[in-house]
Structure 1
């Protein structure tokens, strides 16, 4: 088994993979060489020929890669489920987001809302504000980032609400996660992993895949805002 596995992963799993990497290296002797980006950006990179041993994407993104023959179909696995949430700067009052009416009023009352253009959360949020009929009002003062962590805009003071997967919000210090968008207004994102068909390190990739899907990893997923 080679001593490293190249992983391309969605940002939602960054906290979990970072926490698991040292334990995995100690127990297996294999280093996780990971790079993180939104799923849509990763799909573009993979279609452009970027090499990896293992990928972690949304279930839909992984299915696209399987359909294109880039990911092995028979050993892919669903790792975690995640919900989109809202955050405020640490110490700020937590607004009402428990109902559709409360969420709508909170969004309209915000000075600026930060959300991501490429991530699954940004796609959901764009649909949500359209459903709430507040797209023009929110986007007139939104801080829309191409990729990365939206909660960083809370720390800099550029926004007073940030929208993203809860596991991504929790990657930023100096903020408080208010909670998830009401579950009747969203569908949980499922993040899944699979080995690249062109992997030059198939045995090591399969070993890591089994580890990520194991019960030992579940507590770390929960700590970082995911549901195994």
Structure 2
């Protein structure tokens, strides 16, 4: 049992050592911007990568879409110095088609289900069925959802499928930049939904459960290189590390479902 635990805990370090055995000619400062859905997995993996590679990760955070200043598309449009982005796969594909990411550099890292939460200690509605989910939305005084992939789905598709679009006007709010869990924890909403991986790290909330399978949306998280990045080779090494199968356990522990067959890096 102890041996199994030691092997599991050392997996990220072993993965880094194998992937970076050739080593970089010099220590690199790699500028990374990650969206919230993968941020906890990235934070958990980053120290092992830095120890094994000698590189330094300069990390910032921003949504995959939307109009806030920190949104990844806005950062790229301003020409911020970025080597690697980690974001929702569909949004990444769009940026790559526009030539704002390096063609062929995409790696698929994980898939993320949407979950819902209430303030810690509050009654938990049963959302295991679509009717239960519909009731939870309608009975809440204030509902919060994000301005990124999960929120776009909730606002434009889920509410219509639940036939509650009109009823939710005035009491359902899209939250820019701030995690939905924090809004719930502070009492600014009594029910909210976002990527499970973004809700899990938040203190002061209880996760009710996942959206029912028939209305669930799995969001892909991927990473890619940015054209003109100062450290393209180190960036490629980081992408290989993040996508390594040995790191699946670390990624899964954050509420994500690791990609079973990550796409290879192409040069």
> TM-score category by the smaller chain?
over 0.9
Structure 1: give runs of 5+ residues left out of the alignment: none
Q: Which residue of 2 aligns with 1:47?
A: 77
| Equivalent-residue separation in structure 1 for 2:234 and 2:43 (angstroms) | 18
12-21 vs 77-86, greater mean Cα deviation = 12-21
Residues 1:5 and 2:35 are matched in the alignment = no
| Equivalent-residue separation in structure 2 for 1:19 and 1:80 (angstroms) | 15
SS in 2 for 1:8: strand
Structure 2: give runs of 5+ residues left out of the alignment: 1-25, 66-70, 259-267
The one of 163, 167, 179 equivalent to 1:137 is: 167
CA deviations 1:147-189 (Å, max 9, x no partner) are 2200112211111112100001112112111111112113211
Residues 1:38 and 2:76 are matched in the alignment = no
Q: Which residue of 1 aligns with 2:68?
A: none
Q: Which residue of 1 aligns with 2:248?
A: 218
Q: Which residue of 2 aligns with 1:58?
A: 88
CA offset at residue 80 of structure 1?
0.4
Q: Scaled by the length of structure 2, what TM-score is found? A: 0.81
Residues 1:121 and 2:150 are matched in the alignment = yes
Task: Write out the 4+ residue segments of structure 1 that deviate beyond 3 Å after TM superposition.
Answer: none
- Which is greater in Rg? 2
The one of 177, 180, 183 equivalent to 2:213 is: 183
Q: Scaled by the length of structure 1, what TM-score is found? A: 0.94
Matched residues, number: 227
The one of 220, 225, 232 equivalent to 1:195 is: 225
SS in 2 for 1:5: strand
Give the direction of change, closer, same or farther, for the CA distance of 1:217–1:139 in structure 2 (3 Å limit).
Answer: farther
Q: Which residue of 2 aligns with 1:29?
A: 54
| Equivalent-residue separation in structure 1 for 2:169 and 2:177 (angstroms) | 17
CA offset at residue 142 of structure 1?
2.5
CA offset at residue 79 of structure 1?
0.3
Q: Which residue of 2 aligns with 1:84?
A: 114
